[in-house]
Amino acid sequence: MNDTTIGKRPLRQVFWRSFALQGAFNYERMQNIGYAYAMIPVLRKLYKTEQDRAEALQRHLTFFNTTPAVSPAILGISAAMEEQNARDPEGFDKSSINSVKAALMAPLAGVGDSLFWGTFRVIAAGVGISLASQGNILGPILFLLLYNVPHLAARFFGLRLGYKFGAESLERFAAGGLMERAMSIANIIGMMVVGGMVATLLTVETPLIFEMSEATVEVQSILDSIMPGMLPLTVTLIIFWMIRKGFKIAWLTVGVLVAGVLLSAVGIL
């Protein structure tokens, strides 16, 4: 007879194992091995026969890819569903475990990417870099703290809520527009901070000076009197436009490096 409650210890193991999600990342099924590996403590507890274990492992070795920070929420749901399956192997639709994973990984990656990559990381980097560029060791420390407090909280509570409330909770969360609103808030903050960083952390100045008959005119001070930060803004928008036109990032960075040397050589920058 199977023991059909997972209990605390295996769930704690899932939490720690979820950090290794991308350890065996591959181009075919991406985070699949990491996902199966994270589920093993649960599967070991619930299934005792070789056949049950084989089926469960194969289930979790299918394609999986999402933002690492939100993966514990999905793992929690998978754990809850495996538990239901172990309780009622005849009545439970096993394929629903993977359909729920597939249905959740894309929308959660959308929220995860914009919250963690697009907002928390951007804020942490903005604060960290502005200190670090003055040689202040607090920069990297604050960078890690500002990012990881929300990051680790999302991992911890994601797993708990996912397991406790199962798939319905996230569906309700999505249906109520909460997910959309969190993304929208994150997006606004991200955009404002990026705007602020362009203004404060990017220094592009021109040394150009025009000699008139009786006066010298510094181009930079004219630009500043129109609007400070005009050059950094222009450069950023040009590169943004080029990215949208499909220029490869690798070439863009090398191109900017070369352009910088050339523009400096002719005295424009």
CB of 85 to other proteins, least distance (A): 15
Q: Does 239 bind other proteins (CB under 8 A)?
A: yes
CB of 172 to other proteins, least distance (A): 18
Q: Does 147 bind other proteins (CB under 8 A)?
A: yes
Per the DSSP assignment, residues forming a β-bridge with 218 are 209
CB of 204 to other proteins, least distance (A): 6
In contact, 64 and 32? CB cutoff 8 Å: yes
CB of 212 to other proteins, least distance (A): 26
Backbone angles phi, psi at 267, to 5 degrees: 85, 15
Q: Residue 112 in 3-state DSSP?
A: helix
Q: Does 208 bind other proteins (CB under 8 A)?
A: no
Q: Does 135 bind other proteins (CB under 8 A)?
A: yes
Buried b (16+ CB within 10 A) or exposed e, 18-54: beebeeeeeeebbbbbbbbbbbbbbbebbbeeeebee
**What's the residue count for the chain?**
269
CB of 143 to other proteins, least distance (A): 5
Scanning residues 249 to 268, which ones bind other proteins (CB under 8 A)? 249-250, 252-254, 256-265
Scanning residues 75 to 134, which ones bind other proteins (CB under 8 A)? 109, 113-114, 117-118, 121-130, 132-134
Q: Does 244 bind other proteins (CB under 8 A)?
A: yes
Kindly tell me which of 15 and 163 has the beta carbon lying closer to other proteins. Answer: 15
Helix (H) or strand (E) holding 201: helix 178-201
Q: Does 178 bind other proteins (CB under 8 A)?
A: no
Residues contacting 69, CB < 8 A, separation 6+: 112, 115, 116, 151, 154, 155, 158
Q: Rounded distance, CA 60 to CA 75, Å?
A: 10
CB of 157 to other proteins, least distance (A): 15
Q: Does 195 bind other proteins (CB under 8 A)?
A: yes
CB of 269 to other proteins, least distance (A): 5
Scanning residues 2 to 41, which ones bind other proteins (CB under 8 A)? 18-30, 32-34, 36-37, 40
Q: Does 200 bind other proteins (CB under 8 A)?
A: yes
Cα-to-chain-centroid distance, residue 73: 14
Kindly tell me which of 151 and 166 has the beta carbon lying closer to other proteins. Answer: 151
Q: Rounded distance, CA 263 to CA 258, Å?
A: 9
Q: Does 228 bind other proteins (CB under 8 A)?
A: yes
Q: Rounded distance, CA 94 to CA 56, Å?
A: 9
Kindly tell me which of 49 and 213 has the beta carbon lying closer to other proteins. Answer: 49
Q: Rounded distance, CA 17 to CA 205, Å?
A: 49
Q: Does 227 bind other proteins (CB under 8 A)?
A: yes
